Amino acid sequence: MSGSDAHLDLETGEIVGMDPTIDLLFLNLLYVFWFLGIWFSIRIVHKRKLRTLVTGAAHIQWKQIFSGFGLFFALLLMLQFIYFLIFPEHYIWNEFDGSKFLFLFIVVLFLTPIQTTVEELFFRGFLLQWIAKLSRNPVILSIIMAIIFGSLHFANPEMERSAIWVGLDYVFVGFMLTFIAVKVGSSELSIGAHAANNMFLFWFLADADSVGGSVPALFTVAGNNPAVSFFMDVVLFIVFYLLVTKKFKPSANEFV
């Protein structure tokens, strides 16, 4: 799967010329070790169950996770379709290679949810619960978590398009994922939405200037406008928030 010209750049420490899907696979495998670190910290050091990072209830609500995933995925699909109708020149249909796409599909299906869930366990679980000792205000908590979450994504290659708009996008996403978790009283919906977002992008939209790189997705994005992308995410998350908070009422078992 890796190209014959793949080599280690001694100056940057990065592997150049590696198959993008292999690169994505190794990147996501790192989160398996991060998960083990979180598990060890919670179970061995703090003597708590991992579930308490997700919800204060007796059981994780898997229905909420899958509902959040399905709704967010559907909203993304609709929004991208509308964008396609307006700016069709921004989408390039990739030459389809069944074996390469199948490999990408499997890597994303099994490893990307681990990556996104680990981030949710850390940001919307461990860190959020720790910061909640200082304030219980949903807006203040969400702002603090948004700054932390967003700033840790500022090294992503997407930032080269526009530090302001892309940076705002990361901060806004961090704010909304946290605000939804705090308002509902658990992070199942945020776990589902985060997974849906990343899996959708890797499967459908390749972008050489993004974390996923030139993976063999169905389309390649050309002429991406950071400001438009930001406002699309604002619409996406507001609609998602209004729908899920109407369907899933706040839990009596708070987790922050």
Q: What are phi and psi of 133, to 5 degrees?
A: -70, -20
Q: What is the pLDDT of residue 9?
A: 44
Instruction: Read off the pLDDT of residues 37-77 as tens digits, 9 standing for 90 and up.
Output: 999 999 999 999 999 999 988 899 999 999 999 999 999 99
Mean predicted confidence (pLDDT) in 132-158 = 90
**SS3 per-residue string spanning the chain:** CCCCCCEECCCCCCEECCCHHHHHHHHHHHHHHHHHHHHHHHHHHCCCCHHHHCECCCCCCHHHHHHHHHHHHHHHHHHHHHHHHHCHHHEEECCCCHHHHHHHHHHHHHHHHHHHHHHHHHHHHHHHHHHCCCCCCHHHHHHHHHHHHHHCCCCCHHHHCCHHHHHHHHHHHHHHHHHHHHHHCECHHHHHHHHHHHHHHHHHEEECCCCCECCCCCEEECCCCHHHHHHHHHHHHHHHHHHHHHHCCCCCCCCC
pLDDT by residue (tens digit) across 114-130? Answer: 999 999 999 999 999 99
- For residue 11, what pLDDT is reported? 44
Average pLDDT over residues 186-200: 96
Q: What is the mean pLDDT of the chain?
A: 89
Both tokens of residue 195?
Answer: 């997974």
**pLDDT for res 254:** 65
And the tokens for 209? 């200037």
Arithmetic mean of pLDDT, 195-202: 96
Closest by CA to 117, choosing from 190, 24, 205, 8, is: 190
What is the predicted pLDDT for the residue at 184? Answer: 92
**pLDDT for the residue numbered 189:** 96
Q: Over 60: is that where the pLDDT of 2 sits? A: no
pTM above 0.85, yes or no: yes
The pLDDT value recorded for residue 16 is 55
